[in-house]
Structure 1
Amino acid sequence: MAPDTPVDVPARTDRLLLTAPRREDLDDVFTLYSDPQVWEHLPAGRHTDRTQTALLLQRIRDSWDAVGLGSWVARLAGGPDAGRLVGTGGCDLRLGVTWNLSYRLHRRDWGHGYASELTAAAIGAARRRHPDVPVTAYLLEHNVRSAAAAERAGLHLQWRGPDAGNPDPDAVRLLYADRPLSRVVLELLTAT
């Protein structure tokens, strides 16, 4: 799955400029990922050190370099706040078997339709890159906003069960997908 388009070509939605992560994004992305408000559904995921964010951005960049697609850094494309970070999100290859759709937005940007713009762009990019690879969303059951966003994006619940590796033993994970997943893929995705 080698990339066939340059990694640094930005994508656009109606209101967002989407770019592969760059070093200069670190401070803005750390501010987002260290904000407890955006981690209300998984407090243990909050970044407490810039090194965590730098490693995340490098993993995303590695995805771009390896398969020509990964999550984006999403900034406002126009208006008085042009260039302001809205969040991150997109599709990353998960375990080599599915595109994992995800996003994290600043709390001030919730409820404005940015998640829908970002997820539509991500699914479109994943389907153009490799239409034979399923698109999935892996989320906690109590995160009803993310479940609604997955459903609006055309994904359907495929699995519900314990969240492997979550410090909360009662956490329930949901797996959504744009098509039925094989038993082997389901087992692979839900065991990690």
Structure 2
Amino acid sequence: MSGHPVLRTERLIMRRWRDADREPFAALNADPQVMEHFPAPLSRAESDALVDRIEAVLDAHGYGFWALEIAATGEFIGMTGLAPVLFDAPFTPAVEMAWRLAPAAWGHGYATEAARRALTFGFAELGLQEIVAITATTNLRSQAVMRRLGMTYDPADDFDHPHLAPGHRLQRHVLYRRQRPA
């Protein structure tokens, strides 16, 4: 895919990463509240390495997890987008939709708004037949977003995340699916 799309919604811009995004993204990734449903908060070096991996996926595929900013202010509030699932599971190969927002941006509908735009892009521009979203069973806020996006859940799809040790508090994950509209 040529070029690097900038996706827009009424209130948000989803775009490539800038060096200026690294510091607020590191703060977000170091926040225990944000990282409650992840194995551990990230150090600055780990967060920067994550941005580098995200950018590599964007370069390779023409889509990925875009930096998310408020259109009216230019404020960086996190990330959202689509990326190939990079581990083996009963539902792979698959393209996953995900988001991670700073706490100040919670409760405003930004995750749903950005994810809805990512879904449209995935189906209309990429021609995907299905997009999935996964999270720990404990992450009820993200599961609520998944339901608002019209994603469906089947308990039979629950799985143990292969990157987490047996017995880890976050090992069990749920899978939500959204099929391409007819």
Query: Are 1:56 and 2:50 counterparts?
Result: yes
Structure 1 partner of 2:75: 84
Structure 1 partner of 2:174: 174
Q: d(CA) in 1 for partners of 2:146 and 2:59?
A: 26
Q: d(CA) in 1 for partners of 2:21 and 2:175?
A: 30
| TM-superposition CA deviations, 1:15-69 (whole Å, max 9, x none) | 1121111233211211111111111222x23112x22112111111111111110
| TM-superposition CA deviations, 1:60-83 (whole Å, max 9, x none) | 1111111110111111111xxx02
TM-score (norm 2): 0.85
| TM-superposition CA deviations, 1:128-185 (whole Å, max 9, x none) | 33223421101011111111111111211241133333255343200111149xxxxx
| TM-superposition CA deviations, 1:67-106 (whole Å, max 9, x none) | 110111111111xxx0212211111122483221110111
Structure 2 partner of 1:94: 85
Whether the 8 Å contact between 1:137 and 1:177 is mirrored in structure 2 is yes
Alignment partner of 2:158: what SS? strand
Distance change (3 Å), C-alpha of 1:100 and 1:45 = farther
Q: d(CA) in 2 for partners of 1:152 and 1:10?
A: 24
Name which of 32, 42, 47 aligns with 1:47. Answer: 42
Whether the 8 Å contact between 1:154 and 1:178 is mirrored in structure 2 is yes
Name which of 160, 163, 177 aligns with 1:162. Answer: 160
Alignment RMSD (CA, Å)? 2.0
Figure out how many residues of one structure are paired with residues of the other and give that number.
171
Shift of residue 115, structure 1, vs aligned partner: 0.8
Name which of 65, 69, 74 aligns with 2:68. Answer: 74
Q: d(CA) in 1 for partners of 2:40 and 2:169?
A: 16
Gaps of 5+ in 1: 181-192
Q: d(CA) in 2 for partners of 1:98 and 1:177?
A: 10
TM-score (norm 1): 0.81
Q: d(CA) in 1 for partners of 2:14 and 2:56?
A: 17
Q: d(CA) in 1 for partners of 2:169 and 2:68?
A: 33
Bigger Cα displacement from structure 2, 66-75 vs 159-168? 159-168
Q: d(CA) in 1 for partners of 2:23 and 2:93?
A: 32
Gaps of 5+ in 2: 87-91
What aligned pairs does 1:1-192 form with structure 2 within 5 A after superposition?
3-4=1-2, 6-7=3-4, 9-42=5-38, 44-48=39-43, 50-78=44-72, 82-95=73-86, 97-158=93-154, 159-167=157-165, 168-171=167-170, 172-179=172-179
Bigger Cα displacement from structure 2, 69-78 vs 23-32? 23-32
Q: d(CA) in 2 for partners of 1:110 and 1:27?
A: 19
> Amino acid of the residue matched to residue 65 of structure 1?
D
Q: d(CA) in 2 for partners of 1:170 and 1:94?
A: 21
Whether the 8 Å contact between 1:64 and 1:70 is mirrored in structure 2 is yes
Distance change (3 Å), C-alpha of 1:133 and 1:93 = farther
Aligned-residue identity in percent: 27
